[in-house]
Amino acid sequence: MSSTYFDWRRVLDSPRVYSSVMAALGADSGMQRFVREVLRVQPGQRILDLGCGPGRLYPHLPPTEYCGLDANAAYLARARALYPKARFEQQDISTGCPNFDLGEFDLIVAVGLVHHLPDAAAKRALAFCHERLRIGGRLITLDCVIDEGQNLLSRLLVSGDRGRFVRRGEEYLDLARAYFPGANLTIRHDLLRVPYSHAIVECEKR
């Protein structure tokens, strides 16, 4: 007897569904706080958005020289339709983007990226970030996290994430410190409308 397994997470491959779910979870207001409190973007900076998806970060930024990278063509099509003035490129970040060459950036942001990558691919992505940052430039990553301080509902929601490599905070930090020895970690439980836990890793190229 054959059976069909339905993975509800696959519906999030649709950029419209993904954006609607994020809005329902309160992710837009969370993104605003993330930009204001953590990214602290200055007008005119060069910003690289890794794993940009349908462009969720872009409307929360001041005027900048922005480029978003993602491997998902459908997400990028949605981003280009919504934000025609921004630059979006299809790149597989897990490869380290060997053919990408747009110079150095003031800030690289990776929201919801690292927990989709195994260690080897994450290291390639981090090496790429180190190479593409100017001296004094920053890399900020934000990912769902397994944390002792999260409640049961948060743990259940995080365990249901599409990413197959959700880590503990110190594991994200250890990956980053291989390239950014001064990286630091913050755990946030307040960026969504529902109980959820995020690890924010902040790095600076020195």
Contact call for residues 148 and 168 (beta carbons, < 8 A): no
pLDDT at 51 (0 to 100): 96
pLDDT at 8 (0 to 100): 46
CA dist 124 and 18 (Å) reads: 27
The stretch 69-79 carries a mean pLDDT of 96
pLDDT at 161 (0 to 100): 87
CA dist 52 and 69 (Å) reads: 6
pLDDT at 4 (0 to 100): 46
Residue 150 has pLDDT above 80, yes or no: yes
**Helices (H) then strands (E): counts for the chain:** 6, 8
Strands 198-204 and 184-188: antiparallel
What residues pair up with 105 in beta bridges, in sequence order?
A: 133
- Residue with the larger pLDDT of the pair 16 and 130: 130
CA dist 68 and 91 (Å) reads: 9
CB burial of residue 28 (10 Å; 0-12, 13-18, 19+): middle
Predicted structure pTM score: 0.89
CA dist 114 and 133 (Å) reads: 18
pLDDT at 17 (0 to 100): 61
Residue 42: count other Cβ atoms within 10 Å of its Cβ. Answer: 11
3-class secondary-structure state, position 40: coil
Q: Name the CA dihedral angle for 73, 35, 186, 51, rounded to a multiple of 10 degrees.
A: 10
Residue 196 has pLDDT above 80, yes or no: yes
Q: Residues 99-129: pLDDT tens digits?
A: 898 999 999 999 999 999 999 999 999 999 9
How do the domains of the chain map onto residue ranges?
Answer: 44-204
Tokens of 31: 């993104």
pLDDT grade for 5, boundaries at 50, 70 and 90? very low
Domain 44-204 architecture: 3-Layer(aba) Sandwich (3.40)
